[in-house]
Chains A and B, each alone.
Chain A
Amino acid sequence: MPRRIAALAAAALLWAGVVQAQVPVDPTVARQAVERVLAAWNTPELGHWLATDFVGRDQLLATLNFDVPPSARLRILAIGGVQTLQQERRGNALVSLVSVTVRAQAEWEQPGQGLQRREGTAEYILRISREAPR
């Protein structure tokens, strides 16, 4: 069954067509998805992963542009709970909102000060589409 990671999604009104998540997204798929998104953190490719309806989209990209060292990258320390929040059928696709909790640290080389690291835990909301027969 082909799967597609659409984007990092934001809160949206999803009353219409929303059902109880009957087919939870495979946690392995969600983990691989969040690994791909976080590999693009602080690179020009991150914008491709951010949903257009993500409220903080431009704010996040501006912060990365202006405030974060350009060589900083994220190292995933552990991926915690994976939760399928909602599912909605759109045509031939089953669209799931999935919450993934990740412990990660930003690392960058600061000339004169050596390797710097900052650790944190964050919840990421992914929108994952799967082709599903009608």
Chain B
Amino acid sequence: MQLRIARALLLLHGAGLALPSAAAWELTGSNTLRIESYHVDGDKRYSPYAREGTFVYNDIDLSLFGSSTPGQTWRFDFAGTLTDSPYRSVHSGLVPEVMRVSYDNATAAVPFRVDLGDQNVQFSELTLSRTLKAARLTLRPDSGIDGRSYWASAVVGSDGQQWRDFDPTADLYHGFSLGLQDQRLGSYSLNVVHNSREGSGSLADADQWTASLTAQRGFDVAGQRLNLRGELAYFHGDASDGRSDSGLGYYLQLDGKSGQSRPLDYRLRYDRYSSGFHPHGSAAPADSEAILAEGGWRFRQDAQVRGRLQRSRTGISTADPVVTDSAGLSVIGPLLPGQPQKLVGQLDLSLQTRESESNHVDMLAKSVQGSITVNHSPRHQSRLSGSMATVDDLNHPGVERVTRQFAVGHTAKLKVRGLDLTVTPGVSITEIQTQDSEITMGPTLAISASNERQRLLLEVGQSELNATDPADDVEQARVSLKYEIRRGRHSFGVDLDRTLREPSEGEDTDAWRAGMYWRYDLGKSLGGAG
């Protein structure tokens, strides 16, 4: 294992050394070697850890950015692990996780950019918005008009894949996007995306096309800075179940800010997607519509109020659509006008209902959450928080679920022999009341100590679950400790985590995780000015 890690590091350093000598390059990243051991005593069925043993992995994270000549930039990214730990990866051995090369040329006759490897491709919300392993070419021809730019981008890439066992055809996208951005006229784009997906499990093979037009324009009206944008998309092809279908989807959104100092912001949005609209590259749900209104007002002295209303309907083409209504209000601000930092309060209210036309589904959820933070001094702070949430299935009276939570804690920041010490003791109580009732309560303690070189974090928690049937009572204790010391670019650390579960009957479960690591941070300039 150690030999393989060393070889991988040498190869990666070698890539950096082969650069043109006249270049200005910045290398950043780190290498972390970690050893972890998992051990469980007692009833292993109820351990949080599925596997016991000692595992080693080495994480490598490298990023190289630079310019070979003025106007031409390169970027190389690599992140991966060399592992035998089932907790780190489902694979063992060398597991590349992020590999990317980007080249941008702003001085060519037609400025362009090439991206190869892992990248976030965001053509539009309704056609393609995915992190793909892909090749992409983007051209930015000179418009010859001040404040206007054009782009054309073509991509081919695969979704949901890992570099190990990479199957580019399993979920393959081809896409093309063409657009313009103008300071006065706004931004407009045309997007065309093809996706082919191999079936697996209950999913059939699918082959589909999606095309869309997007438009966005900002304007000022009566002191309001507004931004209007929308998209209209057409889908044709196979849905995930293999059925051939076609349909339209669109959304329209208006957001704005008001006033000289812009204390008010707001957003209105409407979405509608037909039953035949199934693009894999989008998160838009078929056969649905939604309307949203939200806004916020920022007062002086850091006070803020925000509200949000949403109605969404799913299954709108069916005889029994389901309507979900959401309303939320959030207020945060100082409670003592003369001393805005002394006492800060927060209140969140939310209401959600889910109801079908036939009343087959009829659910109601309400929640209220509040907190008060008392800043006694720069070194002492107390916080009280509480919440109550009710979830009720209105078709089944008597199955209402009420969750009440209360927590209180105090944070003291001390300076002890050059160490910044933070101690946070507290107590939390959670009651979940259904037909039965269970209460989980116990103390918590967090201690952190740090200076320029070292950092220690200790967290202790204990809780007791009192179920309706005393045979189901469980006591739990959890301790976690993290310590790290830095010397130059080197960091050494230790993690310990213990979870103890003690049911009133049967065997206890005592689960341990102990880990230690060494990290080497890179940060290096590799050449002179280009």
B119 to chain A, nearest CB (A): 7
B484 to chain A, nearest CB (A): 10
Whether the pair B467, A13 counts as a contact (CB closer than 8 A) is no
Whether the pair A112, B65 counts as a contact (CB closer than 8 A) is no
Chain B 61-98: CB-based contact to A (< 8 A → 1; otherwise 0): 10101000000010101011100010111100000011
Q: How far is the CA of A77 from the CA of B80 in the complex (A)?
A: 16
Question: Does A92 have its Cβ within 8 Å of any Cβ on chain B?
Answer: no
Q: How far is the CA of A99 from the CA of B100 in the complex (A)?
A: 14
Q: Which of A27, A115, A125 contacts B30 (CB 8 A)?
A: A27
Which residues of A lie under 8 Å from residue B465 when comparing CB positions? 109, 111
Which residues of B lie under 8 Å from residue A82 when comparing CB positions? 61, 79, 98
Q: How far is the CA of A85 from the CA of B102 in the complex (A)?
A: 12
Q: How far is the CA of A24 from the CA of B518 in the complex (A)?
A: 21
Which residues of B lie under 8 Å from residue A117 when comparing CB positions? 48, 50
Question: Does A133 have its Cβ within 8 Å of any Cβ on chain B?
Answer: no
* Interface size range on A against B: 35 or more
Residues 14 to 70 of chain B near chain A (Cβ within 8 Å): 28, 30, 45-48, 50, 61, 63, 65
Whether the pair B348, A13 counts as a contact (CB closer than 8 A) is no
Whether the pair A81, B352 counts as a contact (CB closer than 8 A) is no
Whether the pair B389, A44 counts as a contact (CB closer than 8 A) is yes
Question: Does B525 have its Cβ within 8 Å of any Cβ on chain A?
Answer: no
Question: Does A61 have its Cβ within 8 Å of any Cβ on chain B?
Answer: yes
- Known A-B contacts A58-B324, A62-B326, A82-B79; the reply to A22 vs B119 at CB < 8 A is no
Question: Does B238 have its Cβ within 8 Å of any Cβ on chain A?
Answer: no
Whether the pair A111, B468 counts as a contact (CB closer than 8 A) is yes
Residues 90 to 111 of chain A near chain B (Cβ within 8 Å): 97, 99, 101, 103, 105, 107, 109, 111
Residues 452 to 505 of chain B near chain A (Cβ within 8 Å): 465, 467-469, 472, 474, 476, 501, 503
Whether the pair B365, A66 counts as a contact (CB closer than 8 A) is yes
Which residues of A lie under 8 Å from residue B391 when comparing CB positions? 65-66
Chain A's closest residue to B476 (CB) is A109
Which residues of B lie under 8 Å from residue A21 when comparing CB positions? 65, 75
Q: How many residue pairs, one in A and one in B, have C-beta atoms under 8 Å apart?
A: 151
Which residues of A lie under 8 Å from residue B468 when comparing CB positions? 111
- Known A-B contacts A16-B187, A62-B352; the reply to A24 vs B151 at CB < 8 A is no
Q: How far is the CA of A109 from the CA of B463 in the complex (A)?
A: 12
Whether the pair B120, A105 counts as a contact (CB closer than 8 A) is no
Chain B's closest residue to A54 (CB) is B283
Which residues of A lie under 8 Å from residue B472 when comparing CB positions? 111-112
B350 to chain A, nearest CB (A): 8
A84 to chain B, nearest CB (A): 8
Residues 434 to 459 of chain B near chain A (Cβ within 8 Å): 436, 438, 440
Whether the pair A52, B294 counts as a contact (CB closer than 8 A) is yes
Q: Which of A13, A16, A27, A99 contacts B120 (CB 8 A)?
A: A99
Interface size on B, residues (CB 8 A): 83
Question: Does B210 have its Cβ within 8 Å of any Cβ on chain A?
Answer: no
Q: How far is the CA of A36 from the CA of B468 in the complex (A)?
A: 33
Q: Which of A52, A55, A86 contacts B267 (CB 8 A)?
A: A52
Question: Does A1 have its Cβ within 8 Å of any Cβ on chain B?
Answer: no
Which residues of B lie under 8 Å from residue A86 when comparing CB positions? 120
Whether the pair A20, B367 counts as a contact (CB closer than 8 A) is no
A114 to chain B, nearest CB (A): 5
Which residues of B lie under 8 Å from residue A62 when comparing CB positions? 324, 326, 352, 354, 365
Q: List chain B positions with a Cβ less than 8 A from chain A.
A: 28, 30, 45-48, 50, 61, 63, 65, 73, 75, 77, 79-81, 85, 87-90, 97-98, 100, 102, 104, 113, 118-120, 122, 124-125, 129, 131, 151, 179, 181, 187, 214, 216, 229, 267, 283-285, 294, 308, 310, 312, 324, 326, 328, 330, 348, 350, 352, 354, 363, 365, 367, 369, 387, 389, 391, 401, 403, 405, 430, 432, 436, 438, 440, 465, 467-469, 472, 474, 476, 501, 503, 509
Q: List chain A positions with a Cβ less than 8 A from chain B.
A: 10-16, 20-22, 24, 27, 44-45, 47, 52, 55-56, 58-59, 61-62, 65-66, 70-71, 75, 77-78, 80-86, 97, 99, 101, 103, 105, 107, 109, 111-112, 114-115, 117, 119, 121, 123, 125
Mind listing 12 A-B residue pairs with CB under 8 Å?
Answer: A10-B283, A14-B122, A16-B181, A21-B65, A24-B77, A47-B348, A80-B88, A83-B77, A83-B79, A85-B131, A86-B120, A114-B503
- Nearest first, the 5 closest Cβ-Cβ pairs linking A and B are A81-B97, A11-B129, A111-B472, A44-B369, A81-B79
